[in-house]
C-alpha cells in the first residue's frame, strides 16, 4: 500500500484512560509498565517486545499500554509528529539510509526522524473535538459520541475539508453496514458484468464476489431499513429506528 507518511515521534498526554485492550498477556500479571528490556528467564516475551537494554530515560522505551494494580490503561497521543516523504513517495524510500554490515545484515539510519522540513503535526485531542462538534454520519446524520463513534470510512484518501468543517465520508459502525447493503445487488437471478460479480444489469447495483445465501439474506434484511434510519438497541433486542 502506498503511503508517504510514517510516525517520527509521539508526545503522549500526561494522564491515561482506561483501556479495553489488555496490557499484559495473562490476567495474573498485575503490574506491567516497561516494554523494551533484555529478555530474561521468566520474561516469556509476552507481550512481544524488543531485545536489548532498557534505557529508562527514553520515553520511547515505555509502552503506551500499562497495567496498574490489575487494571489496564492507555496513554493517548497528545501530539503526533509525522514524517512525509518528499514528492509523495513511499515512506522512508528516500530519507532513510541503508548500509550492509560485514555479517550481511542491514543497518537502517534513524536520522530521518529529525527532518523538520518534512514534519506534519497532528493534534488528536483537537481532531476528536472537531469530530464531536462538527462531523456527522453520512447515513443517519447522527453525531459522534462516546460509545457510538463516527469513524468508519468507505474510501481511501477521502477529502479532508477545512478545519472548521466536519469530516466527510464517515459512518457509525452499524450505519456503514446498512449503507453498504443498500448499494449491493440482492437480485434473485442477477445479470452481472463478470461471472458471479460486478455491476448488475437488472438493478444497477454491485454484486460482491462469493455472495452466500446467508449473506444475501442479511443484505436483503438491511435493505428494508429506510434511508437514514438505523438499528437501535432495545430491551427486547434490536429494532429499526
Do 133 and 239 share a domain, yes or no? yes
**Confidence grade of residue 47 (pLDDT, cut at 50, 70, 90):** low
Quick check: is 137 in a domain?
yes
Averaged over 54-62, what is the pLDDT? 72
Quick check: is 233 in a domain?
yes
Which alpha helices (DSSP H) does the chain contain, by range? 124-133, 173-182, 213-223
Do 67 and 131 share a domain, yes or no? no
**Cell digits for 125?**
485531542
**Cell digits for 226?**
429506510
CB 197 within 8 A of CB 190: no
CA–CA gap between residue 8 and residue 113 (Å, rounded): 5
Q: Which of 67-81, 104-118, 158-172 has the lowest mean pLDDT?
A: 158-172
Burial pattern 43-67, b for ≥16 Cβ within 10 A else e, equals: eeeeeeeeeeeeeeeeeebbbebbb
Q: CB-based contacts of 211: which residues, under 8 Å, 6+ apart?
A: 197, 219
In the predicted model, is pLDDT for residue 156 greater than 50? yes
- Order the strands of the 62-68 sheet from edge to edge: 17-18, 71-74, 62-68, 32-34
Averaged over 167-175, what is the pLDDT? 92
What secondary structure letter does DSSP report for 144? P
In the predicted model, is pLDDT for residue 180 greater than 80? yes
The secondary structure of 47-66 as a DSSP string is S----S---TT-GGGEEEEE
Quick check: is 134 in a domain?
yes
Threshold 0.85, pTM exceeds: no
Residue of 87, 84, 70 whose CA lies nearest to 19: 70
Averaged over 159-166, what is the pLDDT? 76
The domain tally of the chain equals 2
In the predicted model, is pLDDT for residue 52 greater than 70? no
Residue of 170, 177, 180, 80 whose CA lies nearest to 121: 80
Q: Which burial class, exposed, middle or buried, applies to 6 when counting CB atoms under 10 A from its CB (0-12, 13-18, 19+)?
A: middle
Quick check: is 158 in a domain?
yes
More confident: 114 or 60:
114
CB 238 within 8 A of CB 231: yes
Averaged over 17-40, what is the pLDDT? 76
**Confidence grade of residue 231 (pLDDT, cut at 50, 70, 90):** confident
In the predicted model, is pLDDT for residue 21 greater than 50? yes
Mean residue pLDDT of the chain comes to: 84
Quick check: is 3 in a domain?
no
In the predicted model, is pLDDT for residue 237 greater than 50? no
Instruction: Considering only the C-alpha atoms of the chain, give the largest distance between any 2 of them, rounded to a whole number of Å.
Output: 68
Quick check: is 116 in a domain?
no
Do 44 and 149 share a domain, yes or no? no
Please report, for the chain, how many H helices and E strands are present, in that order: 3, 16
Averaged over 209-217, what is the pLDDT? 89
Quick check: is 204 in a domain?
yes
Averaged over 191-217, what is the pLDDT? 89
- Its domain, for residue 25, covers 17-75
Quick check: is 210 in a domain?
yes
In the predicted model, is pLDDT for residue 54 greater than 70? no
Averaged over 171-176, what is the pLDDT? 93
Q: Highest-confidence range of 12-21, 23-32, 52-61, 150-159, by mean pLDDT? A: 12-21
Averaged over 105-134, what is the pLDDT? 92
Can you tell me whether residue 227 is helix, strand or coil?
coil
Q: Which of 22-26, 79-83, 194-198 has the lowest mean pLDDT?
A: 22-26
pLDDT in the model for residue 239: 46
**Confidence grade of residue 163 (pLDDT, cut at 50, 70, 90):** confident
Amino acid at each position: 500500500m502506498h503511503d508517504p507518511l510514517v510516525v517520527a515521534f509521539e508526545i503522549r498526554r500526561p494522564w491515561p484512560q482506561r483501556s479495553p485492550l489488555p496490557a499484559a498477556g495473562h490476567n495474573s500479571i498485575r503490574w506491567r509498565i516497561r516494554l523494551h528490556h533484555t529478555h530474561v528467564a521468566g520474561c516469556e516475551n509476552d507481550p512481544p517486545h524488543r531485545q536489548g537494554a532498557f534505557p529508562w530515560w527514553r520515553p520511547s522505551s515505555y509502552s503506551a499500554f500499562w497495567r496498574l494494580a490489575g487494571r489496564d490503561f492507555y496513554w493517548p497521543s497528545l501530539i503526533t509528529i509525522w514524517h512525509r516523504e518528499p514528492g509523495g513517495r513511499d515512506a522512508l524510500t528516500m530519507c532513510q539510509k541503508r548500509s550492509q554490515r560485514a555479517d550481511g545484515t542491514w543497518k537502517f539510519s534513524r536520522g530521518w526522524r529529525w527532518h523538520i522540513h518534512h514534519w506534519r503535526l497532528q493534534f488528536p485531542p483537537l481532531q476528536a473535538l472537531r469530530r464531536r462538534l462538527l462531523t456527522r454520519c453520512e447515513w443517519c446524520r447522527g453525531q459522534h459520541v462516546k460509545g457510538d463513534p463516527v469513524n468508519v470510512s468507505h474510501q481511501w484518501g477521502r477529502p479532508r475539508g477545512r478545519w472548521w468543517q466536519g469530516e466527510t465520508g464517515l459512518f457509525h459502525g452499524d450505519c456503514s453496514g446498512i449503507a453498504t447493503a443498500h448499494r449491493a445487488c440482492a437480485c434473485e437471478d442477477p445479470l452481472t458484468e463478470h461471472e458471479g460479480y460486478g455491476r448488475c444489469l437488472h438493478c444497477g447495483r454491485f454484486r460482491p464476489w462469493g455472495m452466500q445465501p446467508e449473506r444475501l439474506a442479511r443484505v436483503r434484511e438491511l435493505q428494508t431499513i429506510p434511508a437514514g434510519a438505523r438499528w437501535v438497541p432495545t430491551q427486547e433486542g434490536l429494532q429499526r429506528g
